[in-house]
Amino acid sequence: MVNLIFAGIMNTRSISLQVSGSIGAVSGQYMLAEKSKCIMTLAHGAGAGMDHTFMVTLASALADAGISTLRFNFPFAEHKKGRPDSPAVAHQTIAAAITHAHESFPSLLLFASGKSFGGRMTSQYLSVNNLPEVKGIVFYGFPLHPAGKPATERAEHLKDVKMDMLFLQGTKDELALWNLIEPVCASLPKASLVRIEGANHMFKAGKQDVMSLLVKATRDWMLHQI
């Protein structure tokens, strides 16, 4: 039986997510919205783990909007290592999270998402593993290139993604110049691009309530997938 802890209008459930025999387990947490129709894996970025303020606030706000999530650590964050995991390890972790969410809540529509590195690793994995149970990918700031080194090579694999994709991108994102990310998304038939005016890669944009914009855009897009 699932042990749920009631918190506000959502249920939270902490889990130990087994990645593989060699990699071991990482921490994860479900935030389950009441009367939710969908659940989304939510992978963190390269600079912080699943309990970073942005990740927790986003998951909580999504739950308020009726979207359940599974946040989880990559092994490097779990073991407090500074350098992100290799793509192979990151992909295995994402695969474990997707499987766990789908098997735990098979009646909910399943989506995958990530902040920066987490989103890119998710799309890399799904570009070579077309899982029919995953209905789409949400990118909270796709890291198109390193800061100060504009390029588009990191987007090449997106051409092989078979599912719908939502890109939530700030116009001042240091890792995805607008004049590059816009044509990249326009070239992808399955992609939708939402412009967050004035936001940088951390989704900071002065006093603007960017979190509400991110959640509304996610919810509106998902409604079209249901």
pLDDT band per the 50, 70, 90 thresholds, residue 82: confident
Statement: residue 66 has pLDDT above 50 = yes
Tokens 């959502």, residue?
A: 10
Per-residue pLDDT at 135: 97
Which residues have a Cβ under 8 Å from the Cβ of 102 and sit 6 or more positions away?
110, 133
Average pLDDT over residues 111-130: 98
pLDDT tens digits, 88-102: 999 999 999 999 999
Average pLDDT over residues 29-34: 96
Contact 95, 24 (CB under 8 A): no
Per-residue pLDDT at 8: 42
Burial (Cβ within 10 Å: 0-12, 13-18, ≥19) of residue 12:
middle
Round the average pLDDT of the chain to a whole number and report it: 94
Average pLDDT over residues 35-57: 96
Q: Which of 6-10, 17-21, 28-32, 129-133 has the lowest mean pLDDT?
A: 6-10
Which residues have a Cβ under 8 Å from the Cβ of 186 and sit 6 or more positions away?
193
Per-residue pLDDT at 2: 35
pLDDT band per the 50, 70, 90 thresholds, residue 225: confident
Rounded Cα distance between 42 and 70, Å, is 6
Per-residue pLDDT at 10: 66
pLDDT band per the 50, 70, 90 thresholds, residue 9: low
Statement: residue 226 has pLDDT above 90 = no
Average pLDDT over residues 167-180: 98
User: CA 56: distance to chain centroid?
Assistant: 12
Statement: residue 6 has pLDDT above 50 = no
Domains of the chain in sequence order:
5-225 (3.40.50.1820)
Statement: residue 87 has pLDDT above 60 = yes
Per-residue pLDDT at 224: 87
136 vs 9, residue with greater confidence: 136
Calculate the dihedral angle through the C-alpha atoms of 198, 201, 203, 207, rounding to the nearest 10 degrees.
-50
Contact 92, 21 (CB under 8 A): no
Average pLDDT over residues 39-48: 97
Statement: residue 178 has pLDDT above 80 = yes
Task: Give the whole-number percent of the chain exceeding pLDDT 70.
Answer: 96
Q: Tell me the CA distances in angstroms from 225 to 71, 97, 110, 135, one per residue in order.
A: 21, 21, 10, 7
Rounded Cα distance between 37 and 35, Å, is 7
Contact 135, 111 (CB under 8 A): yes
